[in-house]
Amino acid sequence: MLGKRPWRMAAIAAAISLLVAGCGSGDSEDPTAAGNTVVIGISEPQHLLPTNATDSSSAQVLNSLFYPLVTFDAEKNPVEVAAEKISVAKGNRVWTIKLKPGFTFHNGEPVTAQNYIDAWNYGAYKPNAQGGGYFFDRIAGYADLNPLDPDGDGPEKAAEPTTNKMSGLKKIDDLTFQVTLSAPFASFKSVIAYSVFFPLPKAAFSSDGVIAKGFEENLIGNGPFKMKGSWVHDDKIVVEKYADFKGVVPKVDGVTWKIYGDQMAAYADLVDNNLDVQTTIPTDALANAPADLGERFQKSENSVFEFIGFPTFLPQYKNPNVRKAISMAINREEIASQIFLGSRTAAKSFVSPVVSGYRENSCGEPCEYNPTKARELYQQNGGPKEIKITYNVDGGHKSWVDATCNQIRASLQVNCIGEQEPKFAVMQDKLQKHQDIGLIRLGWIMDYPLMENYLNPLYGTNGGSNYYGWSSAAFDTLVKEGSKAATPEASIKKWQEAEDILAEEMPVIPLRYGQNVYGYSERVTNVEVDLFSRVNLYELETLA
Amino acid sequence: MFRYIVRRLLQMILTFFGATFVVFALMFANQDDPVQALAGEKPVSASLREALTERYHLDEGLLSQYWYYMSNLLTGDLGESISGREIGTLLEDSWPVTVRLSLMALVIAAALALGAGVWSAIRRGSVFDNGILAFTLLLLALPIVVLAPVAQWIFGMELGWFPATASRNASFYALLLPALVLATTVVATQLRVTRTSVAENLRADYVRTARAKGLAPRRVIWVHVLRNSLIPLVTLIGVDLGVLMSGALVTEGVFNIPGVGSKLAQGIRTEDGPMVVGFVSVLVIVFLVMNLVVDLLYAALDPRIRYE
Amino acid sequence: MSDPTLPATIDTRPRSLSGDAWDDLRHSKIFWVSSGLALLILLMAFFPTLFTSANPADCTLSRQYAGPSGGALFGFDYQGCDVFARTIHGAGNSLWVGLLATLLAGVIGLFFGMAAGYFGGAVDAILSRGIDIVLGIPFLLGAVVFSGRLSGAGDDGVTAVTLTLGLLTWTSAARVMRSSVVAAKGQDYVAAARMLGASPARLMFRHILPNAFAPFIVVMALLLGANIAAEATLSFLGVGLKGDAISWGVQIAEAQKHARVAPAPLIWPSTFLAATVLAFIMLGDAVRDAFDPKLR
């Protein structure tokens, strides 16, 4: 029996373990950049098929593999890139998109109008369950591809869509196609800059409307870089220059998108110069970033907007004056500088400064910190004895909620507690069931740079992110009129009028605007991070 | 002996179904809204919600979900995670690095526990014994969520002794720091148990007999005493695998190791039922095999124990 | 401890195990030091106001990271709270959670381990499979689910955290107990007692248990330390104590993020935690030494 030699056995077991542990390792080196290439840190993208990719990591990668129809200039106005000309007729309903000639996909296929139509139809078709599918809902025929369950969660099944082609998409010739919207929208051109509107080559489909197996791991795009090898999940995605690219050529020869599960780990690599760019330095590392990185620690604006909402079913917050008093009790600047260490700025309007039409301090006095006035107003209007702010604990919100509560407690002389829920979905659920969850923390990142992309989803009666249920017919009408207006300027005017209603009603307390806080290694220069928290790959350079 | 092993293997099948069912039920209980968890805080369109709910049977009961899962599993199909990836491939990708990491941690912990444990048992009450006591307490008092980032900062970033992060194909050296951190989760208990049982055995009759026979003190301790003291330690190593996996959830995240731990943490966070159950199923099998080995080792170490 | 020289006079009173143990303990310096420390910590837990008059919830950002002043011996933390006051007031929840969770785990582990080891056969098979199943559940998953479901809205999460830790940590105690019982069962004196007609209960509690108890006590003492520390892990994962509840774990989880800028708010609660764990482990050691017949 083995029993006679336990020692030998133990020794052998230990030796085997060490061998297993030691071997099979070190054969592939870390993706430390060599030559004129850079390493940029991201999280694992949820998806890379453009119509399914809605997180910022996949947007970054897709941006290297694809060339968008339009992009935004310094004033956030859309300008054509892969499109030669985008024109509009019939009161902002029918849009004609003409593509630049000579572009090819990375497999040599020419880029045609049909590639866009196929990709968009795939994205909108309900059984494909694409995360970015809702972007197509302005296009005529979207509803036919997305029949809704007649009784919600009930036993009745939704009807199968009758077609997988949107009636609003029409090919004119190889390089031109026409998009008909279901309702006029003056700023549609801004919407199609988003990555869900990228084209897909014929090679992406194994048959009509079916994506070929393995395509997502080996994407073929129309952009400046092509995949070098497949997507190595949880590890890296390597892209290299595409020689036949006809657009603006980037200055680096390739990018390694290095995938991190935890952004603190990415930061450790950045400090060690194993990573060239990190677009979002985690808040916990910010205190050390200026010392660790010096000049290589930078900030730029992004579209994040953070606020606190008042669920309308709670009677104690019905009075707008109570809401204003709570708003005045909060010292936004102190929290932005001491809790967020400058990675946020104080917000005093209801839309982010990155959109045209933004006005500084449109909120006015109610967003200024004034503890004395806040307490007077609060007591006159009989605010509740205890204030509760509910937040999802997986998002790193504890610090600022605690600090906000401390301020409210000091200013209003009432108790304030931060209530934790494990996940955002639990908060949503409690809201739907009208449970007393107090104030709720919320945030928003825009899909396209328009005021409308803040006003409608956040405050519109049917807004997708209007979780607190505020509703104003006058506000809805103004937003709708703005969307239909003849020119973008006329739109903005209507939208600003709508924002003024928000300032009177205070359905939410604006708290902070986001900032990209990014850092880079000693190897690279000309690092810019845009509104969507993406590195500008066309400017980025390595130091020889 | 053979019959014993066969019986244990049969029991394993039962445990496997039990454990997967419990985990499945837990995930089911934890499931608030996986579709929303996938989308983060972005609103989910009604159309997308319906399509995903149907694809993953999210609106059906616990038993029927478990049935779908098991019937696929028995045909060798681990299924797809809710984010649309093959769980089989995910496992293949993440398994090797975690095995290496935890083996390294186990070996480090066991070596430290044996060496230091025996020494402090011999020198009970000495400076060394008290020093080791204080040190293990410090490790015990510092939760791994503190220890891992602090170790990364001090040894990886400030002193630069180790790489700050590792990756899937990390070298032995790159995994050393995470393995050390992971080893701290189990070394304290192992060391204390070793010390206690060695101290106890030192006073046993057979030791006195061995000494009286004139055996070299070194031989008495390292052969007679240690062999009998190993039993509780071996038991612990079987249990420790679970502790190590919990530790790996945090350690792998901090050191960016795309192993089982970090995937599992991600699956739990995103309420990805199929993925968590797939990973746990494999973990459970490893546990069961490890524990069978541990039980067989008992018999090997202690001739008084007989399995029929 | 075990003095080889014989006492001058021979005591003829009948001696019990506990009487012997108490005699032993009375003369142990370690026992007095550790129980003194433990008493101090318990005092702190139940009467925090004896130690500090500051309100631990009185925080303001303008004092962020300010140094020690007045009653605030340890300075101020990230939120501008008094670290000393919070450490003192945190003792209650930490200790409460740790003690109760360990007690729960110990009771479950003791009975399951003993039953499995003593009866063997089918009982052992079923209980051991139960242990395997619990061990198969990843701690994080168990913690998220249990504490998520166990805590009601508006409470501070103490009950939920205690139950969660107890339900997830009893396995190590059970396994150690089981293997000790299996080993003790084979001893001659047990066989002798059985042949003398001792009932199973008597065998188990009078003969096997005292001999199998030593490793168990050690595991329990360690588990207590680990549970007090585990509360920090749960807080870190966001399923720990909730709302305004203060504990060393909550403090450590929060201060860890800013340790590079301000180490003091991390060091102090950690020190208190380490001292508490030390006290209980030393106490466990002393008690074990006294009770273990093999060490006499």
Spatial contact of A310 and A508, defined as CB atoms under 8 Å apart: yes
Residue B256 near chain A (CB below 8 Å): yes
Coil vs helix vs strand at A193? coil
How many folded domains does chain A comprise? 2
Residue B303: how many other CB atoms lie within 10 Å? 11
Question: Which amino acid, one-letter code, is at A13?
Answer: A
pLDDT in tens, A345-396: 999 999 999 998 999 999 999 999 999 999 999 999 989 999 999 998 777 7
Residues B70-93 as b or e (16 or more Cβ within 10 Å = b): beebeeeebbbbbbebebeebbeb
Residue C171 near chain B (CB below 8 Å): yes
Angular region, A273: left φ>0, alpha ψ -120 to 50, beta rest: left
- CA distance linking residue A166 with residue A117, whole number of Å: 9
Residue A387 near chain C (CB below 8 Å): no
Q: Is residue A377 part of a domain?
A: yes
- CA distance linking residue A273 with residue B272, whole number of Å: 35
Domain stop point among A211, A241, A264: A211
The CATH number that applies at residue A434 is 3.10.105.10
- CA distance linking residue A143 with residue A139, whole number of Å: 9
Burial of A464 (0-12, 13-18, 19+ CB in 10 A): middle
Range A83-87 average pLDDT: 93
DSSP chain C: ----SPPSS---S---HHHHHHHHHHT-HHHHHHHHHHHHHHHHHH-GGGT--S-TT---GGGTT---BTTBTT-B-TTS-BHHHHHHHHHHHHHHHHHHHHHHHHHHHHHHHHHHHHH-HHHHHHHHHHHHHHHHS-HHHHHHHHHHHHPPTTS-SHHHHHHHHHHHHHHHHHHHHHHHHHHHHTSHHHHHHHHTT--HHHIIIIIIHHHHHHHHHHHHHHHHHHHHHHHHHHHHHT-SS-TT---HHHHHHHHHTTTTT--HHHHHHHHHHHHHHHHHHHHHHHHHHHH-GGG-
Q: Is residue A173 part of a domain?
A: yes
On chain A, the residues whose CB falls within 8 A of the CB of B99 are 20
On chain A, the residues whose CB falls within 8 A of the CB of B101 are 21
Is residue A215 over pLDDT 90?
A: yes
- CA distance linking residue C124 with residue C132, whole number of Å: 12
Q: Is residue A88 part of a domain?
A: yes
* Structural domain span for residue A175: 70-211
pLDDT in tens, A459-492: 998 888 888 889 999 999 999 999 888 888 899 9
Residue B133 near chain C (CB below 8 Å): yes
* Structural domain span for residue C123: 26-295
Bridge partner list, A254: A37, A240
Q: Is residue A375 part of a domain?
A: yes
The CATH number that applies at residue C92 is 1.10.3720.10
Spatial contact of A178 and A95, defined as CB atoms under 8 Å apart: yes
How many folded domains does chain C comprise? 1
ipTM: 0.76
Is residue B53 over pLDDT 50?
A: yes
Best of A405, A429, A437 to substitute, by most chain C Cβ atoms within 10 angstroms, is A405
Is residue C9 over pLDDT 70?
A: no
Please identify among residues 228-267 of chain C the ones whose CB lies closer than 8 Å to any CB of chain B. 228-230, 232-233, 236-237, 249, 252-253, 256, 259-260, 266
Query: What is the token pair recorded at A238?
Result: 């390597």
- CA distance linking residue A509 with residue A514, whole number of Å: 15
Domain stop point among A184, A211, A238: A211
Identify the residue with better confidence: C236 or C174: C174
Spatial contact of B132 and B116, defined as CB atoms under 8 Å apart: yes
User: Which contacts of B196-199 are long-range, i.e. CB under 8 A and separated by 24 or more positions?
Assistant: B196/B121, B196/B232, B196/C214, B196/C215, B196/C218, B196/C288, B197/B228, B197/B229, B197/B231, B197/B232, B197/B233, B197/C215, B198/B117, B198/B118, B198/B121, B198/B122, B198/B225, B198/B226, B198/B229, B199/B121, B199/B124, B199/C295
pLDDT in tens, A392-408: 877 778 889 999 999 99
Identify the residue with better confidence: A192 or B289: A192
Q: Please judge whether A417 and C244 are an interchain contact, meaning their C-beta atoms are less than 8 angstroms apart.
A: yes
Is residue A517 over pLDDT 90?
A: yes
Residue B12 near chain A (CB below 8 Å): no
Spatial contact of A310 and A439, defined as CB atoms under 8 Å apart: yes
- State the pTM of this model: 0.82
Is residue A7 over pLDDT 60?
A: no
- CA distance linking residue A241 with residue A227, whole number of Å: 9
Find, among A85, A191, A270, A47, the residue nearest to A483 by Cα: A191
Q: Is residue C127 part of a domain?
A: yes
Q: What DSSP element (H or E) covers B66?
A: helix B62-74
Distances (CA, A) of A334 to A242, A328, A342, A406, B178: 48, 13, 10, 12, 38
Q: What single DSSP character describes residue A216?
A: G
Coil vs helix vs strand at A520? strand
- Domain regions of chain B by residue span: 93-269
pLDDT band at B308 (very low <50, low <70, confident <90, very high): low
Residue B100 near chain A (CB below 8 Å): yes
The CATH number that applies at residue A141 is 3.90.76.10
Q: Which CATH class is domain B93-269?
A: mainly alpha
Spatial contact of A186 and A483, defined as CB atoms under 8 Å apart: yes
Spatial contact of A442 and A308, defined as CB atoms under 8 Å apart: yes
Give residue A252's pLDDT: 94
